[in-house]
Amino acid sequence: MSEPLTKIALASRSPRRKQLLEALGLDVEVIPSAYDEATATNDGSPGEAALRHALGKARMAHAGGPPVLVAADTIVSLDGELLGKPKDGREGRAMLRRLSGREHSVFTGFVVLDRSNGQSRSGVESTLVRFLPLEPEQIDAYVASGDPLDKAGSYGIQGRGALLVASINGDFYAVMGLPLARIGASLRELGYRLPAS
């Protein structure tokens, strides 16, 4: 028998991840995590690194809040090189120039942890994204908007970033930062039922 879930903890400051969980009808409480992905290693494949970061965020999340906690990390990979969040507009423009007209991979690692009993589910979702060829003024305008500066690969697929994307092959929500179908399946496996589901 599944238990109804109305509140969930999120070990991420990402407003997009919070909005995605709220769209499932959940009351989301952001729980700070002491995990610092900027100083963590990116050894292994991009998928392994994304999952390692997600598990680290969950493990180092502060106590308190709802017992069920979600953590995630998204990594963009181009030709095997990881593209993180740009340090500034200059780095953001350089990333977007490299992505222009090309296909790259987005990996989102996630963990759903039931802190009341220690059970968890985790995994990685990968998606191929192809960019349109971008004009220099298009890149400058997007960077000037400030939108790319807190996002892996220097773009977000929602909002203005949608104008950069020619196609995707895979989970749109994983590119946004949270593979909702996998999260929902994980919650069901842990014995929880989402609102109105």
Give pLDDT, residue 167: 97
Per-residue model confidence as pLDDT tens digits over 44-58: 889 999 999 999 999
Domains of the chain: 3-193 (3.90.950.10)
CA-wise closest residue to 62 among 36, 31, 37, 35: 31
**Average pLDDT along the chain:** 93
- CA dihedral sign of residues 130, 136, 137, 141: positive
CB atoms < 10 A from the CB of 106, how many? Answer: 26
d(CA 86, CA 83) in angstroms, rounded, equals: 8
Whether residue 1 is predicted with pLDDT greater than 80 in this model: the reply is: no
Give mean pLDDT, residues 68-75.
Answer: 96
Give pLDDT, residue 40: 66
Q: Report the share of the chain in percent with pLDDT over 90.
A: 82
Whether residue 68 is predicted with pLDDT greater than 90 in this model: the reply is: yes
* E strands in 62-154: 68-78, 81-83, 103-114, 119-131
d(CA 27, CA 70) in angstroms, rounded, equals: 13
Whether residue 197 is predicted with pLDDT greater than 60 in this model: the reply is: no
Per-residue model confidence as pLDDT tens digits over 91-118: 999 999 999 999 999 999 999 999 999 9
Per-residue model confidence as pLDDT tens digits over 86-98: 999 999 999 999 9
Annotated active-site positions, please? 73
d(CA 191, CA 69) in angstroms, rounded, equals: 14
Burial class from Cβ neighbours inside 10 Å (0-12, 13-18, 19+) for residue 78 reads middle
Give pLDDT, residue 13: 87
Please give the single-letter amino acid code of residue 127. Answer: T
Give pLDDT, residue 149: 86
Burial class from Cβ neighbours inside 10 Å (0-12, 13-18, 19+) for residue 64 reads exposed
